[in-house]
Amino acid sequence: MIRINDIISFIFNPAFTGWLLFLKSLLIIFSLILSGFIIFALAKTSWLKRMVIWDIVEFFSFRPYGVRKVEKDWAKITARLETGLESEWKLAIIEVDLILNGILMKIGFGGETLGEKLDKLTAATLPNLQQIREAHKIRNNIVHDPDYRVSLDEAKRVVAIYEQALRDLETF
């Protein structure tokens, strides 16, 4: 039966001499360097963050990771709708479009633009897909036409469409 003391004694009190002692020392140093590189690589990549930290946050908060940021951004959007400025209403529509685009990207829907991502979705994924496409067209009009006018009611309607999509994706 091997005891822990025998293992520790073998590591720290080598019975080898000459080149075997040198080889053993060299391999121990190599394994420590390799272990350090693995820890460094895990710390620098996002794998550890996604696989471990996000799971811990979700477990203790009982909510999906990133919901707090979405809620914070949503508060800004609703505050923009409360102002009396048309430019703020337009910005609220653009920002809510960006939020949906980011969430779809995190979920794994590929594409450079939100329009390309929406083409990959089905009504089973988002029941109000057609409304989202129309709202995205309004967003595109705002971005590409500086003279495009948006009323408060239209801005609230567009934001409500995006809100329903975010609720369907369970990000609220």
Q: Is the Cβ–Cβ distance between 138 and 93 less than 8 Å?
A: yes
Separation between Cα atoms, residue 81 and residue 92, nearest integer Å: 7
Q: Calculate what percentage of the chain has a pLDDT beyond 90.
A: 26
pLDDT at 14: 59
Residue 152 near residue 120, CB atoms below 8 Å? no
**What residue spans define the domains of the chain?**
4-61, 67-168
Per residue in 7-65, pLDDT tens? 777 667 656 667 777 888 889 899 999 999 998 888 888 777 777 777 777 777 776 66
- What is the structure's pLDDT at 43? 80
CB count in 10 Å sphere of residue 39? 11
Mean pLDDT across 144-158: 90
* 16 token code pair: 């080898």
Total-model pTM:
0.64
> What DSSP designation does 128 have?
T
Q: What is the pLDDT of residue 156?
A: 92
pLDDT at position 63, please?
Answer: 67
Q: How confident is the model at residue 139 (pLDDT cuts 50, 70, 90)?
A: very high
Residues with Cβ within 8 Å of residue 119, at least 6 apart in sequence:
111
- The Cα angle at residue 100 between residues 84 and 89, in degrees rounded to 5: 10
Chain center to CA of 153: 32
**Predicted confidence (pLDDT) per residue in 91-138, tens digit:** 999 999 999 988 888 878 878 888 888 888 888 888 888 999 999 999
Average pLDDT of the residues in 129-148 = 90
